[in-house]
Amino acid sequence: MGIACTYYSITTLSTVGFGDYNPKSNFERLVCSVIMLFGVSIFSYIMGNFLIVSEKFKDFNKSLDEGEILDKFFLTLRKFNRNEPLNLEFQKEIERYFSYRWENDLN
């Protein structure tokens, strides 16, 4: 019975519903209804946690993406500077400024 219930829960959650196992009495219908509701709530909880993890991963990599944009900005400045290197102190000041802004999430 445990394997059949597990199988029924999985086919219900995945919306496949092969129909090879189906409830025959009112007690079985009640048990299957509880299994479906429990399965959907567990699945929703797992998906909610997955979305939270994916958002945190996206936020973690945000600074790397912003750093790439800053590198492109420096390359553009160098191009407008007739391909001569920028003043290193000036470049560090810009990096400090944007690092502060990104860490404090200012607009």
pLDDT for the residue 18: 62
* pTM listed for this prediction: 0.43
pLDDT for the residue 61: 65
- Give per-residue pLDDT as tens, 71-87: 888 888 888 888 888 88
- Give per-residue pLDDT as tens, 23-65: 778 787 778 777 777 878 888 899 999 999 888 877 776 656 6
Question: Tokens standing for 72?
Answer: 């492109």
For domain 2-103, is the CATH number 1.10.287?
yes
With a cut of 70, say whether residue 14 has pLDDT above it: no
Mean pLDDT value across the chain: 78
